[in-house]
Amino acid sequence: MTATRRSPGRPPNPELDAALIEAAANLLAEVGYDALSLAEVARRAGTTMPALYRRYKNKNSLVLAAIERDVEANSVRFAPHGSLRDDLIGLLEAASGHMTEDRLRVLAALVLARDTEPELVQRLVGGVLVDNLPALTEIVLSARVRGDGTTASDGLDMIAMLVPAIVVTHGLVNGSGPDRALVIRAVDEILMPLLAAHARGSDHAAPADRPAP
């Protein structure tokens, strides 16, 4: 009988992968990207440098894995409230709730590293931005079904960018996401008027300018 040949390499170790990513995220928040040491990451994860390098070829790839975990863990989820205004408030409050001190420190650390590691900044900020677009689109589509003040659902990407812009800017300046009073002002004074103008622009567009169904 011919023995089954075992493939090279070691079996995956999800616990070690999680420990390395957790250690990298914590260090990134504590000391920033430039001062982050892979040796210290390995020490905190209770492993060795060879074990780390078998999984991540360099600091960039390890931090990118930590960012991917952050984006997935902080995906915006909230229960619909049944009106356009209340749903927008819920969306902004959900995004604000993710602006923890550790996440804000990571954001600040990556902003400082943008000249040398721009793709890391783009992934973290891009993940936050893109995550809001499907939520906003769903809110607007639901409002359209209810006849709740808006009809346009295309071209919402620029408006979706305002959600993290409001939350992240407030967080970096003040150390936390906006409170409910500021969220309501942002919805009433920025998002609702922009959505209304967006809907009017879509209604008034010439047929040739409208996207094909």
Banded pLDDT at 209 (limits 50, 70, 90): very low
**Cβ within 8 Å of residue 10, ≥6 positions away:** 54
Residue 176, CB half-sphere, CA atoms under 13 Å: how many?
Answer: 7
Average pLDDT of 173-178?
A: 87
The answer to whether residues 84 and 150 touch, using CB atoms and an 8 Å cutoff, is yes
Q: Which domains does the chain have, with CATH numbers?
A: 14-70 (1.10.10.60), 76-202 (no CATH)
Give the model confidence (pLDDT) of 9-65 as tens digits.
Answer: 455 788 999 999 999 999 998 998 999 999 999 999 999 999 999 999 999 999 989
Q: State pTM to two decimals.
A: 0.70
Banded pLDDT at 111 (limits 50, 70, 90): confident
Burial bucket for residue 133 (CB in 10 Å: 0-12, 13-18, 19+): middle
Selection from 175, 131, 179 nearest residue 157 by Cα: 131
